[in-house]
A and B are shown apart, each in its own frame.
Chain A
Amino acid sequence: MEQTILFTLNGKAMHLTADPQRMLVWVLRDDLGHTGTKVGCGAGLCGACTVLVDDEPTLSCSTPLADVVGRSVVTIEGLAKDGILHPVQQAFQEHNAFQCGYCTPGMILRACALLKKKPRATRAEILEHMEGNLCRCGAHVRIVAAIEAAGKSMGGAL
C-alpha cells in the first residue's frame, strides 16, 4: 500500500507517496532520476547500489523505502559540493581508479563512509571495509591507492 514517505536526499527534504516495501534503489533511480546508483546483482551481493544512510554504507537494492523514513540518504549525486569534488572523488579521478566505472559510485560512497569515521584507516582496514564491493575490471589496486590518498587529504596524514 502506498503511503507518505519522508526522508532527506542529498540534503533536500523528500516527500513521496510510495509503497514503503519498494527497494530504495528503484525509487532513487526511477522516481527521483538519481541514476548514479547502479544495480549490479539485485541481491545485496555486489555493492554497486551502495548509498549512505545516516553516513552508513547501505545496499539500496535490499533496503526497503520504509527503512529510510526520517533518515538522511546520500547518493553519488550529492557528494560534490558547489562544483567541488569530494576528496574521495578527487582521489578516484587522480588515480584513474576505475575502468568501466559501473562500480565506481558504490565504491566511492563506501570509501567515504570509512574515511569519515577513520581518515587514517590502514590498508588492511580499507581492504576489509571494501571487501563486499565488486569490481570486475580489476581496478582494485588503484581504488585502494585512491582511498589512502583521500584519507591523507582529509586529515589522516600522520
Chain B
Amino acid sequence: MKRRDFFKTTGATGLFILFRNYLEAAPQLVPTRPAGYPKDFNAYLRIGGDGRVGCFVGKVEMGQGNMTSLAMLAAEELDVPLERVDMLMGDTDLCPWDGGTGGSLSIWQFGPVLCGAAAEARAVLLQMAGEHLQVPVDQLEVKAGVVSVKGAQAKQVTYGQLVQGKRIERHIAEVKLKPVSAYMLVGTPAPRKDAQEMVLGAVRFTADQRMPGTLHACIVRPPAHGATLKSVDTSAAERMPGVRVLRDGNLVAVLHASPDQARKALGLVKATFEGPPPALDDVTIRRHLASKLASGKVSVQEGDLKAAEARAATPVEAEYFNAYVAHAALEPHAALAEWKDGRMTVWAGVQAPFPVKAQVAEALKLPAKQVRIITPHIGGAFGGKAAGPQAVEAARLALKAGAPVQVVWDRREEFFLDTFRPAAVVKIRSGLDPAGRIAFWDHAVSGTSDREAEIGYEIPAKRVSSTGDGGDLGTTVSGLHPFPTGAWRAPGANTNVFARESHMDLLAARAHVDPLAFRLRHLTDKRVIRVLEAAAERFGWVAGATPSGRGVGVACGAWRGTLVAAMAEVAVDKKTGQVRVKRVVLAQDMGVVINPDGARQQMEGAITMGIGYALSEGIRFKDGRILDENFDTYQIPRFSWIPVIDTVLVPNPDLQAQGCGEPPIVCMGAVIANAIHDAVGVRVFELPMTPERVLEAIKKG
C-alpha cells in the first residue's frame, strides 16, 4: 500500500479514507473519517531510550476500555509487549487532534489511523536497524521491540537504542500493515491497563484533581426549563466566612475553598426567575410527537407501497413510544480550570476535548492556542459528556476569580442539565401477503432520527421517514423537545430497533410462525443470519409460535457495522406486572475482535444498561421541571435485576474491527418486549415497560 493511499483524501468531501487489503472485500463497511488526524506518526508514538512506547491519542477513556484496546493495536503493529505501551489520552496540548469519543468509533474509525502510524514507525525502525546492523531489512525480524538478524540472534538492536527518545525524522511511503492472520496480541483477552489503579482507588477523576488555592463553585440554576434569572440576592451567602460570589452575565456562582461549604452557601442564595414554562409534560409529549409524524422527511422509499398494501391482508399498524432517558453516569460533570500565564487549562471529564477546547476559547474570546483541555479518566459518559458546559463554566469563573476554580455538578444538576435520550414515537404500518411474507412496511418516527429503522429485511415495498432532530449527532434544542436532548448510547437505534423488532413479532404472531423463523425468512444478509443462528444455538431456542407462555424473545439489530442478535427469557408476575429478566444471550459479529474480554464487558454492560431503559427508566417532567432528581425515583439496574448473561463473539476475521460499545444495547427494548408478549400474551408498546404498563396491558388483554 502506498502511503498517499493510506491517507487518501477524497476531494469532493474532504474526508480521507483508509484502504486496507482486507477491507476491499467489504467496501461498504469502510468508515469515512474526518481529515484532521495528523499524518506524521510522531504525533501518535514516541519511543523512549528504555524502549517504552508513549502512545498519544485524542480519544478518552470513560470505562469502555479503549485505553487498553488502542494500546493493543499499537503494540501489535510495532511488535512490542503491551505492558511497554504507555497511553496518554485526551490532552489537547500533547495528543493529536480527535473529533471526540463516541459512536463506537475509537476502534472502527481511529484504530486504522493508529495502526497505520505504528506500521510506518516499525518500518522506519527496521530501516534504521538495517543500517545500524549493516544487513538488508529483509533479513531482520522484530520480537518485543528487539530487532535481530534472522538466524543470528546475537546481532540485535532495540527500538530504544535506535531512537534514544528522539523524534524520528524519517518517513516511508510504502507501509505494509500486519495481516490479521499474523496477529499475536490482538484477539487475545487482555486485562485492562488501568486495573490496578482502579482497585486501589488511585485513578484520579476530574473531581479528584487538586490545585493549591482551588475554589469550589456552585452555580445558581433555574428551577425549570424555560425560566431565566430575574433577580438574585446573594447577601446571606456572602456573610458566610470564606464565601465569594461571582457573576458573569447570567452565570452566578458562590465559591468556597470546600465544596460542601460552597454548596451550603448556594442554599442561602435567593433568586427569582421568569419565563413561561414549556407546556409539555411526560404524558402529553407522546401526542405532541405523534402529531409531527406526518411532517417527517422520507429517507427510504422502495416499491409501490399503496399497491403492496392493497395486495396484503389486513394491515397491522402500531404506535410505539419511548420516554426520555437520562445518561445517569455515576460520575457527575466536573471541571477544574486554571488561568495562568495567559493560558486557560481545564481538566474536564468530556468526551470531546478538542471540540470543547474550541468551545472554551469561544466563550472566553481567547485564541484556541491559549486553551488546553486535559481529560482525566471519565466515570461513565454514554453520550452525556459529549459537550462540555461544565468546562466553560469553570473557565469563565476561573478567569474572574484569579484562582483555580472547580465545578462539580450535584445529582440534581445532573438530571436537570442532562441532554436526555429523546422521547420518540414510531408508527409502523405493515402487512402480510397471502404466503405469509411481509408485503409492505411503512416506518415513521418522530422525536429522533431514522437510524436503524432498517435492517434490510427483504420487503418489496417500504418507506422510512423521520422528523430527526433528537440530537443524535450532538446536543440540540429543537421545536420538538421541551429541553435539550442528545446522543445516548446508540442514538436513534434504541428507539427504532424497539419498534421494528416488536413489530416483526406482531407480524410473526399474525402469521403463526416462530419469530426466529419469521425473521430468517426475510433475511439474506449472511452476517445477520449467522448472529441469529449463533444466539439461537447458545440459547437453546425451541421454535414455536408466540405467545408460547415460556417468556422467550428474540430481536436483532445492526449498529456501527456490528451485527447483533439477542435472546431473552423473562418471568412476568401477572398480579403486579413486575418483569424479571432471567437470562440474556447476545451474539455479536463485530469483525476482528481486538480484546475479546473487553468486548464481552461492553456486551454485559450494554445488556444491563438496556434492561434499565426497557423496564424502569423514563424521565418524569412537568412545567419545565425535571421531577426525577436522584436515584430514589429514577431507578437504574441494580444487582438483583441482573440476568444470567451469555455473550457470543461470532468470529469474522475477514472484516475490519467494527463498533463495540453501543451495538449490544440496541436490541434490549424489543427482546424484552417480545419475551413479555411470549410470557403473558400481551404486548407493551411503551418504554419503559413499568409494572403499571405491563399490568394495564394484561388487564386490557
Interface residue ranges, A against B (CB under 8 Å): 22-23, 26, 29-31, 33, 35-43, 45-46, 48, 75-77, 79-80, 85, 89-90, 92-94, 96, 98-105, 108, 126-128, 130-144
**Distance to closest chain A CB from B179 (angstroms):** 29
**Distance to closest chain A CB from B574 (angstroms):** 24
With contact pairs A42-B411, A131-B638 given, residues A99 and B608 touching in the complex (Cβ less than 8 Å): no
Return chain A residues, CB-CB under 8 Å to B62.
Answer: 100
B residues 321-379 near A (Cβ < 8 Å) are: 328-332, 377-379
Neighbour of A89 across the interface among B194, B200, B631, B640, CB < 8 A: B200
Neighbour of B380 across the interface among A41, A80, A89, A137, CB < 8 A: A137
Complex-state Cα separation, A43 to B208, whole angstroms: 19
**Distance to closest chain A CB from B611 (angstroms):** 9
Chain B interface SS verdict (over half): loop
Return chain A residues, CB-CB under 8 Å to B65.
Answer: 99
Return chain A residues, CB-CB under 8 Å to B143.
Answer: none
Neighbour of B201 across the interface among A33, A75, A136, A142, CB < 8 A: A75
The 4 closest A-B pairs by CB, nearest first: A36-B201, A100-B63, A138-B608, A102-B379
With contact pairs A76-B201, A100-B63, A135-B330 given, residues A141 and B208 touching in the complex (Cβ less than 8 Å): no
Asked whether any CB of chain A lies closer than 8 Å to the CB of B607, the reply is: yes
In the complex, the chain A residue whose C-beta lies closest to that of B327 is A136
With contact pairs A141-B642, A141-B645 given, residues A36 and B202 touching in the complex (Cβ less than 8 Å): yes
29 CB contacts below 8 A, A to B, read A23-B260, A26-B258, A35-B207, A35-B210, A36-B200, A38-B379, A39-B332, A39-B408, A41-B631, A42-B411, A46-B631, A79-B200, A85-B199, A89-B200, A99-B605, A100-B62, A100-B329, A100-B380, A102-B331, A105-B201, A108-B199, A131-B638, A134-B638, A136-B329, A136-B330, A137-B63, A137-B605, A138-B606, A140-B642
Extra inter-chain contacts (20) besides given A127-B640, A138-B607, CB under 8 Å:
A26-B260, A39-B207, A45-B411, A46-B330, A79-B200, A93-B195, A96-B192, A100-B62, A100-B377, A101-B63, A102-B63, A104-B199, A108-B199, A126-B639, A131-B639, A136-B329, A136-B609, A138-B605, A138-B609, A141-B608
Neighbour of B330 across the interface among A79, A102, A127, CB < 8 A: A102
Complex-state Cα separation, A57 to B432, whole angstroms: 58
**Distance to closest chain A CB from B106 (angstroms):** 14
Return chain B residues, CB-CB under 8 Å to A41.
Answer: 411, 630-631
Complex-state Cα separation, A60 to B213, whole angstroms: 25
**Distance to closest chain A CB from B563 (angstroms):** 21
Complex-state Cα separation, A43 to B410, whole angstroms: 10
Complex-state Cα separation, A80 to B65, whole angstroms: 24
Is the CB–CB distance between A136 and B191 below 8 Å? no
Is the CB–CB distance between B380 and A42 below 8 Å? no
Asked whether any CB of chain A lies closer than 8 Å to the CB of B637, the reply is: yes
In the complex, the chain A residue whose C-beta lies closest to that of B642 is A140
**Distance to closest chain A CB from B635 (angstroms):** 10
**Distance to closest chain B CB from A114 (angstroms):** 12
Asked whether any CB of chain A lies closer than 8 Å to the CB of B204, the reply is: yes
Return chain A residues, CB-CB under 8 Å to B330.
Answer: 38, 40, 46, 48, 100, 102-103, 134-136
Return chain A residues, CB-CB under 8 Å to B202.
Answer: 36
Complex-state Cα separation, A142 to B198, whole angstroms: 14
Interface residue ranges, B against A (CB under 8 Å): 62-65, 191-192, 194-196, 198-205, 207-208, 210, 258-260, 328-332, 377-380, 382, 408, 410-411, 597, 601, 604-609, 630-632, 636-640, 642, 645
Neighbour of B630 across the interface among A45, A128, A135, CB < 8 A: A45
Is the CB–CB distance between B199 and A142 below 8 Å? no
**Distance to closest chain B CB from A16 (angstroms):** 13
Complex-state Cα separation, A70 to B421, whole angstroms: 47
**Distance to closest chain B CB from A2 (angstroms):** 11
**Distance to closest chain B CB from A24 (angstroms):** 10
Return chain B residues, CB-CB under 8 Å to A93.
Answer: 191, 195-196, 198-199
Is the CB–CB distance between B329 and A45 below 8 Å? no
Complex-state Cα separation, A136 to B640, whole angstroms: 14
Is the CB–CB distance between A100 and B331 below 8 Å? yes
Return chain A residues, CB-CB under 8 Å to B608.
Answer: 138, 140-141
**Distance to closest chain B CB from A30 (angstroms):** 5
Complex-state Cα separation, A142 to B192, whole angstroms: 14
Is the CB–CB distance between B208 and A35 below 8 Å? yes
In the complex, the chain B residue whose C-beta lies closest to that of A92 is B199
Is the CB–CB distance between A104 and B631 below 8 Å? no
- Among A40, A43, A139, chain B packs the most CB atoms within 10 A around the CB of A40
Return chain B residues, CB-CB under 8 Å to A80.
Answer: 200
In the complex, the chain A residue whose C-beta lies closest to that of B603 is A138
Is the CB–CB distance between B328 and A136 below 8 Å? yes
Neighbour of B200 across the interface among A29, A76, A96, A136, CB < 8 A: A76
Is the CB–CB distance between A134 and B260 below 8 Å? no
With contact pairs A30-B258, A38-B331, A93-B196 given, residues A136 and B380 touching in the complex (Cβ less than 8 Å): yes
Return chain A residues, CB-CB under 8 Å to B208.
Answer: 29, 35
Is the CB–CB distance between A104 and B636 below 8 Å? no
In the complex, the chain B residue whose C-beta lies closest to that of A37 is B201
Complex-state Cα separation, A74 to B222, whole angstroms: 39
In the complex, the chain A residue whose C-beta lies closest to that of B608 is A138
- Among A23, A141, A142, chain B packs the most CB atoms within 10 A around the CB of A141
Return chain A residues, CB-CB under 8 Å to B607.
Answer: 138
Return chain A residues, CB-CB under 8 Å to B194.
Answer: 101
Is the CB–CB distance between B201 and A99 below 8 Å? no
Complex-state Cα separation, A98 to B203, whole angstroms: 12
Complex-state Cα separation, A99 to B202, whole angstroms: 15
